[in-house]
Amino acid sequence: MIRALTLAGGLAGAVSLSQFPEFSQQYLQRLAGAVDELKVVVAAFDTSAKGFGLSRDEALAQMGGTTFQNKLRDDMQGNLTRFKQLNADYQALSGTIPLERLTMVWRMRDSDLALRTWDDFRPAIPVTSDGLICAGIGFVGGWLLLSGLLGLLARPFRRKAASAA
């Protein structure tokens, strides 16, 4: 029974992780698009600020006074912060192979992009070496995880059986 459950855990891990290469590729494409769009917004803001002889920080400091202007300033500051974060993530992830991205999964931290990627993602049979390697890693991980959990759950019963004998 335990072997069957751990095999099921391994298979579930294999199927799940085998999808990572394609999901990460689609996330990377969305990330690139988001960076490109934010780059346009940031460049337009910087150009406007420069046209008035202001730095980015000076221009942000001058935006304010009314509720509307304060909201615009906050939105722009959010865009600048998001651009900086997404651009850093994109620079780190671009040019990497899926197995490298597996070690940098924390760089896929934009929940909005991840959710939109997931909404459009359709699982497929992995036929690339990356997909098969991820499936193998997922199988071992799922098998070890379920095996460990079942071992922990069975431990109290083993002690009682050993002490009774």
117 and 140 belong to one structural domain: no
Per residue in 23-46, pLDDT tens?
A: 999 999 999 999 999 999 999 999
Q: What is the pLDDT of residues 136-146, one digit of tens each?
A: 888 889 888 88
Please indicate, yes or no, whether residues 35 and 112 belong to a single structural domain of this protein. yes
37 and 117 both lie in a single domain: yes
The model's pLDDT over 115-137, given as tens digits with 9 standing for 90+, comes to: 999 999 988 777 778 888 888 88
Pair (37, 89) in one structural domain: yes
Domain extent at residue 13: 1-19+127-165
Residue 148 has pLDDT above 80, yes or no: yes
For 126, the 3-state DSSP assignment is coil
Residue 50 has pLDDT above 90, yes or no: yes
Q: Is there a single domain that holds both residue 43 and residue 77?
A: yes
Share of residues in the chain with pLDDT > 70 (%): 96
Most confident of 48-52, 98-102, 156-160: 48-52
Check whether residue 51 and residue 82 sit in a common domain. Answer: yes
Same domain, 27 and 14: no
Question: Distance between CA 6 and CA 148 in Å, rounded?
Answer: 9
pLDDT of 14: 86
Q: What is the pLDDT of residue 111?
A: 94
Domain count, the chain: 2
Say if residue 92 is in the same domain as residue 144.
no
Same domain, 35 and 55: yes
DSSP label of 65? S
* 48 and 105 together in one domain: yes
Q: What is the pLDDT of residue 72?
A: 94
Rounded to the nearest 10 degrees, the angle between the axes of helix 20-51 and helix 129-164 is 120
Q: Are 155 and 75 members of one domain?
A: no
* pTM for the predicted model, two decimal places: 0.76
Same domain? 6 vs 41: no
C-alpha 24 chain-centroid distance: 8
- Tens of pLDDT, residue by residue over 63-111, are 988 999 999 999 999 999 999 999 999 999 999 998 899 999 999 999 9
Structure tokens at 162: 């050993």
